[in-house]
Amino acid sequence: MQKSHRSGAVATLARAFHDDPLFTFLVPDQLSRARAALTFMASILADASQFQEVWITQAEGAIAGVAAWLPPGAYPRGPRREAMGVLRDLRSAHRLGRRVLAGMRIYGAVDQAHAQVPEPHWYLAVIGTDPPSQGRGVGSSLLAPVLERADREGVSAYLETQKIENVSWYRHHGFDVVQELHVRGCPQLWTMSREPK
């Protein structure tokens, strides 16, 4: 992804996650959620961009979809990358209000589940399609290049999703559920892994 695409990519991801169950739970107010989504998506892309594995698709001159991957060895993040991510996220942490502790529990559970995944693996940090472009193959086109590469390299791929509807879509692309995460008082999450073909 070119630097000139970054703001459009952040905005596309924020729109894609406008109705995400986890975002809706953590930041119920719509305006606050939109602002928080911009912060959190910018943070994810800033971290992933250093590995040059942020993929975009365009439709009619606008960014229709974005996928940010971390290559094998890029996760877990080291102390410096982790600190930088926390600093970026702090700009919107106040938007979670009293649900900040729930957010920390979710983050901890996701991190703990991910730590159990054997290396090497590709990690899909985030993927999203602009709502008007959904259902047109944008997401599949964003997955394809890295999954093909993972197959060639004989490496697995891993992700988390907060939407039950996404589980069957990812299964279509070869992923299987590894864990169902039930964090006290929070929406359910699924971790999924794909073995190379």
The CATH number covering residue 29 comes to 3.40.630.30
Split at pLDDT 50, 70, 90, the class of 145 is: very high
**CA-CA distance, 36 to 42, in Å (whole number)?**
10
Nearest to 162 by CA among 47, 36, 22: 22
Task: Using the predicted structure, report yes or no on whether residue 143 has a pLDDT greater than 80.
Answer: yes
pLDDT at res. 112:
95
Task: Using the predicted structure, report yes or no on whether residue 122 has a pLDDT greater than 90.
Answer: yes
For 185, the 3-state DSSP assignment is: coil
Report which of residues 1 and 112 the model is more confident about: 112
pTM, entire model:
0.94
Nearest to 158 by CA among 109, 128, 107, 113: 113
For 69, the 3-state DSSP assignment is: strand
Average pLDDT over residues 126-133: 96
pLDDT at res. 60:
87
Average pLDDT over residues 98-125: 94
Task: Using the predicted structure, report yes or no on whether residue 5 has a pLDDT greater than 80.
Answer: yes
Nearest to 135 by CA among 160, 176, 165: 165
Split at pLDDT 50, 70, 90, the class of 73 is: very high
Is the alpha carbon torsion for 70, 74, 77, 83 positive or negative?
negative
For 58, the 3-state DSSP assignment is: strand
User: How many separate domains does the chain show?
Assistant: 1
Task: Using the predicted structure, report yes or no on whether residue 93 has a pLDDT greater than 90.
Answer: no
Residue 160 domain boundaries = 3-194
Asked, as a colleague might, if the bond just before 120 is cis with ω within 30 of 0, I would say yes
pLDDT at res. 90:
87
**CA-CA distance, 108 to 102, in Å (whole number)?**
10
Please state, rounded to an integer, the average pLDDT across all residues of the chain.
95
Q: Under 8 Å CB-to-CB from 195, ≥6 apart: which residues?
A: 156, 174
Q: Which residues pair with 189 in a beta bridge?
A: 181
**CA-CA distance, 194 to 173, in Å (whole number)?**
8
- From residue 27, alpha-carbon distances to 17, 30, 32, 78, 190 in Å are 12, 7, 7, 28, 20
Report pLDDT digits (tens) over 177-196.
Answer: 999 999 998 999 999 999 99
Quote the tokens at residue 40. Answer: 């959190």
pLDDT at res. 36:
96
